[in-house]
Amino acid sequence: MIVEASAPGKVILFGEHSVVYKGSAIVLAINKRARVFAEKRNDDRIFMDSEDLGYSGFFIGDEYHPVKGAPWRGRSLTAVNLVSRKTMEKLGVQSGLNLKLRSEIPSAVGLGSSAAICVATAAAIDGLFEGKLSREEICALAYEGEKVIHGRPSGVDNNVSTFGGVLKYEGGVGFEKIILDESPCFVIGNTKQKRSTGRMVQIVSELRQRNQSIVDEIIETLGSISETGLSYLLKHDYKHLGELMDICHGLLTSLGVSTPMLDKLVHASRESGAMGAKLTGAGGGGCMIALVDEERMAAVEEAIRIAGGSPMRVDVSYEGVKTRRVD
């Protein structure tokens, strides 16, 4: 038997970096998914085929054995190994596994690909053993993997990937599910520059140490933009929503997390008719997001391409993690 589970990636609309200190972030699940196909083995090995990324190998316990690609590649698969073992532990079963990992979500650019893989891994294994884990339990198992990758992540990625839709996340408070009766259109521009979230959080923290009251005011303003932005999103007031995205990009730039390439893609989008554009996620590379009218969509995608980025049209996805039996 093979079980397939899939889970969506995400974009942060507002609140990146400020949510690390105070205030809320608005996060959207997107219609780009990661997929994990799980099958039992008769030994105790956990095989992982991530051919898309150009490497594969297997784990015996915590030890990685490469089949294709360099041994250090195993580092990025350690989280999947941990989620697999913890899921089987929770289900009270023990088995070797074949896991095929596939993703439409570009990795290491702030679109939540690692969380989506971890969520889909827990769900696929649960399905394989006909377990009955709740979505909350799957989300918590995925968070264990996220900790291996990101240190102390806020938890926003695994939550939005598990439940789908739109979430408002407030540090120390939790998540609130937001129901939109209409979803605007977004284009993501990928700079294709990989970066580390932890490093970018550190850059902001160091800037704050040197200029605490000024940086605190910027963080506070970013927090209030999240709140106001959410009210515009709910009212379908995209003109004002776009304006706030532009202001948000300026403030994030002042925190030192934009790059010339991100700025280039943001300006190219605005000049070709986007209603607003900003970097999304930690910055330092990664992606930007533009709010675009259906009629301007092709022009904005083309402008991002000409500016050297990779455009990707995304819609909000209300479908969180899902599982199906393949044979």
Contact 321, 6 (CB under 8 A): yes
Q: Does residue 203 belong to the site contacting ligand PMV (CB under 6 A)?
A: no
Nearer to ligand PMV, 46 or 200 (CB): 200
One of 20, 203, 207, 299 touching ligand PMV (CB under 6 A) = 20
Rounded CA separation 224/232 (Å)? 13
43, 126, 157, 293: the catalytic one is 157
* Minimum CB–partner distance for residue 226 and ligand PMV (Å): 11
CA angle 313, 99, 50 (to 5 degrees): 55
Minimal distance in Å, beta carbon 237 to ligand PMV? 25
Q: What is the edge-to-edge ordering of all strands in the sheet holding 186-190?
A: 276-280, 287-291, 186-190, 310-314
Number of residues lying near ligand PMV (CB under 6 A): 14
Which amino acid, 47? F
Q: Is 290 in the site for ligand PMV (CB under 6 A)?
A: no
Partner residues linked to 51 by β-bridges: none
Output 40 or 147, the one with its CB closest to ligand PMV.
147
Distance CA 183, CA 11 (A): 14
Task: Identify the H or E element spanning 30.
Answer: strand 24-41
Residues 234-273 as x/- pattern, contact with ligand PMV by CB under 6 A: ----------------------------------------
Please report whether residue 24 would count as binding ligand PMV according to CB under 6 A: no
DSSP string, 179-238: --SS---EEEEE------HHHHHHHHHHHHHHSHHHHHHHHHHHHHHHHHHHHHHHHT-H
Name which position in 281, 285, 311, 320 contacts ligand PMV (CB under 6 A).
281
Choose one: 13-21, 83-91, 141-149, 267-275; the region binding ligand PMV (CB under 6 A).
Answer: 13-21
Residue nearest to ligand PMV (CB): 281
Query: Which CB sits closer to ligand PMV, 9 or 320?
Result: 9
The reply on whether position 153 binds ligand PMV by CB under 6 A is: yes
**Interaction between residue 197 and ligand PMV (CB under 6 A):** yes
- Radius of gyration of the chain measured on its C-alpha atoms: 20
30 binds ligand PMV (CB under 6 A): no
- H or E segment at 139? helix 135-150
157 is an active site residue: yes
Nearest alpha carbon to residue 110 among 196, 181, 22, 184: 196
Please give the structure tokens belonging to residue 130: 């006909």
Q: Contact between 23 and ligand PMV (CB under 6 A)? A: no
**Which is nearer to ligand PMV, 127 or 286 (by Cβ)?**
286
Is there binding between residue 100 and ligand PMV (CB under 6 A)? no
- Of residues 250, 247, 275, 274, the one with CA closest to residue 262: 250
> Where on the chain is the footprint of ligand PMV (CB under 6 A)?
12, 16-17, 19-20, 110, 153-154, 156, 197, 201, 281-282, 286
- The catalytic residue positions are 157
